[in-house]
Amino acid sequence: MSEPLNRLERKLGYQFKDLSLLTIAVTHRSFSGKNNERLEFLGDSILNFAAGEALFKRFPQAREGQLSRLRARLVKGETLAILARGFNLGDYLRLGSGELKSGGFRRDSILADAVEAIIGAIYLDSGMDVARERVLAWLEDQFSSLTLVDTNKDPKTRLQEFLQSRGCDLPAYDVIDIQGEPHCRVFSVECGISLLKEKTFGSGSSRRIAEQAAAGAALVALGVENGAQHE
């Protein structure tokens, strides 16, 4: 099995001194009693620490809740499964016949667990510094896209939390124009914040919608979101 695992090592960007650790890391419990569950437990702890430490350094003004949210996004199973597919990890997994027939090599949970097990294996093979370096290298694209803004919240809330995280005053919204008949009015709103020299603008069928649009424009102007992240 060493030749396929050598290919996997190249994808991982790491060569094992003890290749048996990688063999165990890709072994599912359905295949053998000697499987990757213990390595998965270890790797999960290392992944959470490495991601948490990196976020702590990257966002010095972030609150605990913000850091926890960002770490959860980095270490969630979906993110790890995407990494696994980038490594073509499903091709190297050792699965029992039942899991093979049911497509276990494509299942997010199995792929994510194997990534954590590989992290644990690298730690045992070379120590924390190397394991941390590999984790951060694998997650580089995800790290680069992170902001302190929770995009699940509406633009006004996202903007307010972003400004609060930097100790800035809250935004000021002013209605500058109302046009149309009472049943089909269009509101125009400007948003002023201390971090921008120019005010941003938004319009909509209600003051609330116009304010949301202006807040979204402010987030784009600040460079913390791109235009596709808000309506």
Tell me which residues are annotated as active site. 44, 116
Tokens of 6: 């050598």
Residue-wise over 76-115: b if at least 16 C-beta within 10 A, else e? ebebbbebbeebebbebbbbeeebeeeebbebbebbbbbb
The CA angle 156-157-159, to the nearest 5 degrees, is: 65
Q: Which residue has the tokens 């599912």?
A: 28
Spatial distance between the Cα atoms of 78 and 122, rounded to a whole number of angstroms: 21
Return the SS3 of 188.
strand
Spatial distance between the Cα atoms of 127 and 154, rounded to a whole number of angstroms: 43
Which residues are within 8 A (CB) of 62 and not within 5 positions of it... i.e. 6 or more apart?
55, 70, 148, 165
Q: Dihedrals φ, ψ of 176, to 5°?
A: -110, -10
